[in-house]
Amino acid sequence: MSANKPGDPTTLNRLYGRSKGKALRASQQDLLDKLLPQVAVPEDGEVTAERLFGQAAPLHFEIGIGGGEHLAYRADMLPDHGFIGAEPFVNGVAQALTHVRDGPEGNGPLRNVRLHMGDALQVLDRIPDGSLSFVYLLHPDPWPKARHAKRRMVNDGPVRMIADKLKPGGEFRFGTDHAIYLRHALMVMRRFTDEFDWLVEGPKSWQRRPGGWPETRYEAKARNVFEHEVWYFRYRRR
């Protein structure tokens, strides 16, 4: 499909960007071969807490987990909740699996996490409407060129899907260190004021990391190495 055709991630029907990086260590490959099948989201059918974890539970979904630091922190903090993380980058999934195996503090395995190595929207689409308590989208690929804007995850199609999947009172958390993406995302979210309330009380609301939102290595590098400002946004489903 031509990159110049209209659409967004829900209609382009393909992933962009890399899926592999440097060669995996033997231990990482072993996690992919042995642990990932045990915690993988089923390839078809409805995706529910009961199916994944054997019982009803508040369900969280993270789009693009990177190395899994945020997902592991939240899952460890909320052991009675279920967490789904999706990531197409093999090296990131391998790193996330170390957190699943060891826990964020090395205090044991996380049994309330399931992973999908691939397109997050393919899993999100199979979650029944009104099922999710939280959706997280932290530092997504900014696709800064205007002709690539359709590839950004914050676009009408994905945001519409996120709104449908969240239960009333559920929360969509979005974070970025990229000014172009920031302006684009705010423009898109203004079209969804009937679906979301922006949880904001002035500049401190988006300039300071909210409680329960850990700093990942990516965020620390963006702030301390590249001297980027980081913005945090919380939207509550009406």
- Tens digits of residue pLDDT in 135-157: 999 999 998 898 988 999 999 99
Per-residue tokens: 171 = 């929360």
CB 18 within 8 A of CB 89: yes
Active-site residue (options: 141, 177, 194, 197): 141
Among 16-20, 127-131, 158-162, 231-235, the minimum mean pLDDT is found in: 16-20
- Res 1: pLDDT: 33
**pLDDT digits 0-9 by tens, 90-108:** 999 999 999 999 998 888 8
CB 101 within 8 A of CB 137: no
**pLDDT digits 0-9 by tens, 175-206:** 999 999 999 999 999 999 999 999 999 999 99
Strand arrangement, sheet containing 59-63: 113-116, 82-86, 59-63, 132-138, 166-176, 231-237, 196-198
- Res 11: pLDDT: 86
209: number of CA atoms within 13 Å, CB side? 16
- The answer, yes or no, to whether residue 5 has pLDDT greater than 60, is no
Residues 129-140: what's their mean pLDDT? 97
- Res 143: pLDDT: 87
- Res 108: pLDDT: 82
Q: Under 8 Å CB-to-CB from 145, ≥6 apart: which residues?
A: none
Query: Is 33 considered catalytic here?
Result: no
Higher pLDDT, 167 or 22: 167
Overall pTM surpassing 0.85 (yes/no): yes
Whole-number Å distance between alpha carbons of 100 and 40: 12
